[in-house]
Structure 1
Amino acid sequence: MAYTNNTVILLGNVGKDPEIRQFQDGNLQATFSLATQNSYKAKDSDEWIESTDWHTIKANGNAAKLIADYVRKGHRLEVVGQLKNNNYEKNGVNHYGYFVQVQKVIFIESIKDKPQSLPSNNIQDNLPVNIGEEDTPF
Structure 2
Amino acid sequence: MLNKAILMGRLTADPDVRQTPAGVSVATFSLAVDRNFTKAGEEKQTDFINMVAWRSTADFIGKYFKKGQLVAVEGSIRTRNYTDNNGNKRYVTEVVVDQAYFAESKRNSDSASPFSQPSAPTYSQNTANFEQQNSNNTAESYTNVDFAGDDDLPF
State the TM-score, normalized to the length of structure 1.
0.70
Between the two proteins, the alignment pairs up a number of residues equal to: 109
Structure label with greater radius of gyration: 2
Structure 1 residue corresponding to 2:59, chosen from 62, 65, 70: 65
More helix by share: 2
TM-aligned CA distance change 1:111 to 1:41, over 3 Å: closer
Q: What percent identity do the matched residue pairs reach?
A: 32
Superposed CA RMSD: 1.9
Structure-2 residue corresponding to 1:114: 114
Instruction: Specify which structure has the bigger relative contact order, considering alpha-carbon pairs within 8 angstroms and separated by 6 or more residues.
Output: 1
- If each structure's strand is expressed as a fraction of its own residues, which one has the higher value? 1
Counterparts of 1:37-116 in structure 2, within 5 Å, are 37-42=34-39, 46-90=40-84, 91-111=86-106, 113-114=113-114
Residue 6 of structure 1: how far off its partner (Å): 0.6
Q: Distance in 2 between matches of 1:74 and 1:108?
A: 12
Where structure 2 has 5 or more consecutive residues not aligned to the other structure, the ranges are: 108-112, 116-155
Instruction: Sort the Cα spacing of 1:20 and 1:100 in 2 relative to 1 into closer, same or farther, 3 A.
Output: same
Q: Post-superposition, which runs of at least 4 consecutive aligned residues in structure 1 deviate over 4 A?
A: none
Decide whether aligned partners of structure 1 residues 53 and 41 sit closer, same or farther in structure 2, where only a CA change above 3 A counts.
closer
Q: Secondary structure at the match of 2:2?
A: coil
Which deviates the most, 49-58 or 104-113?
104-113
